[in-house]
Structure 1
């Protein structure tokens, strides 16, 4: 009896991952790992074998995928197994972050099948080598501490659970089992290239680490378990404060700030990490490490502003209004009426017809749907102190008119230009940290926008607006 067979039978007998009466959905790609998992379930004794079906996704990225899907469909029909499949039509149009987008599609499909057919448990064939690669990849990308605990063998998923029965087994054990059972499986040729970080780690880094330490998997697993225990202890201790400060709304979250801003920075980071984790689990909102650090910095500035706005992906925005943070989706894909602090390389929609970015890049990333809008730019050099803020006019705001430093009140500018009162109130301007006005959007710029020393330009403001 093989190591995998003994281990899998023991897992079934212990009933820690599933019960015999559970209905399982097996995620099967056709590769060696998932075909071994499918075979292991088929070989369980009747008393331990749960009812299960197979789910497969054809990502449409390889010619061989059609034949693989056809084989799996026949395999399942011959064994009396229900077979569900989906084709990722958008796959060939995705040009960046392909792995993430493919994973999102897969798991959305699995969740849909589970909900429609009544399956409570999703089983995947992740193994010990996947665990090593995942921890290293997240460490290399600068992920949050919680993510360094790696892949969990059992975790909640869309009203049910995901299980990974092979997670503690090395890849080689699975390959040996497949060979001994003479299983038919398919090799994904893209796994042999170095286009993806995971592949580079698998092919170039992990073998070296295994040579250095044959117990690499055990040590990474132990490290992940220790980290998980420390984080769980910290989160339990802080949960009462988190629960009293964070409120789930129908369209987002509200965070009461007094108790949080009075805590030390380390406590703030843990509390906010708990919050970001909840955002991802409930709304799939990914907040970058840079954005997380920005929030903590804004909350702890000596002259902390009572109002500011940060924009996240998928039209989510975090708005501070005095003693409260609100995280919500913008109704029409643009910013709320609060002050907007500009973060370099993060563009923001000021309205349905205007978009703004502070950038140091020669070719910044601009959303596809605004690339053809009317464009204007302004250089930002060392004379301006960051951060820059987009806001409405305030009493006393003045614009520098010429090289002599003569100034004009923004209110007088509106009068001289015969700007209607309603438009004056809705107009936005850009000011630096010292409240120097750089630009009254969309047309009037400060004299300081004229630069005679290009080598001292640190950033550019790019303003795009749709022709009316």
Structure 2
């Protein structure tokens, strides 16, 4: 029901009413629209107000439906922990472009109180970067949030309250004496277990998180540390050495994990093992081995 109908009803039925004088003040933009713009446009379409009302109702219902679809996609695809949200890139690529934009905005709203600062241009920049071929990048998403791509993982990280980007672990190094049996490495979220056995027993590791060495050929003390600039390693089956950085890239190790990953070195700082990645030819057990050192890496929650 429009205003003219309301006024006619009041006059025909003797219903008293009052008029807000501010309704006639063009200082307010809404009044300019109602008093000037709509009457002018109605010259071309007399039923323009009704058409706009219908459009508003349709848009509201479609917006509500899209909001529900976005919430469902958020619950299905996005993993949130603390001040971070992450999701796999491939399912994101399968979403309709409208849903991609809304999902990015919902993630930004989830992590930041500044919900209206996520402009279309910023959201579109993130979306197009996620679609691109570059496998690792970081973008300022606004509101104290960084968007990071690590291969097929997209991450949104809040930097509020001094929270820093992942991967900035800082240097660490732990010395390992010959009698050490258990070493906790909190920076890497794991523990190293060292067990010794007589030669001649099984010397093949049970998996990539275990390595076997000839204990008498190892140069003690050993060290568990993270990587250093220029680190290189000799690898079994490879002539010469290879940069540790290149190995991480070949194995698609996310940049946020590279600084924390532990390396095992000997007393001459030669890298003898990168758990889960590569083994060097140093101190390999053979038929003449008298003592076998078995090194196993466990998650801290699994260690004693």
Q: What TM-score comes out, normalization by structure 1 length?
A: 0.28
Of structures 1 and 2, the one scoring higher in RCO (CA 8 A, sep 6+) is 2
- Whichever of the two has the greater Rg, that structure is 2
